[in-house]
Amino acid sequence: FPTFYWLSSRFLVKELSHLEAAGLIKELEERLQDDPALMAEYKQSHEDYVARRWAAMSQTTKDEIERLGFTDVFTKRGVGGIENWQQVRCLHTQYAHHLSSGNNAIGRILDEEYGIGRLIL
């Protein structure tokens, strides 16, 4: 929560689960710390995610979120609801955002370096 994009392909879910189990999230977080350009691209991924999620809501929904005091949850938490945009949470949500928007640094890496896109039928 508040996840906006979900993967429905069991093949993608399985492959990304294997990569997570192999420690890829930690490796990606290290790369982000070592590469300012990648970190900037990753931050932009979160900004895009937040903007798309907020834009998809009706004004009535936004008003209710604001009334309940949850505005920051929806306007400041990025991909997969993560608060710290220097960390990677869940390759599945990163890749779902990538497929939906074409604008996710982690999804790009998963395609370019791990060939995840080849699993899309």
At 69, the amino acid letter reads G
How does DSSP classify residue 118? G
Domain edges within the chain: 10-119
Cβ atoms of 75 and 50 within 8 Å: the answer is yes
| Per-residue model confidence as pLDDT tens digits over 47-84 | 999 999 999 999 999 999 999 999 999 999 999 899 99
Which pTM value belongs to this model?
0.92
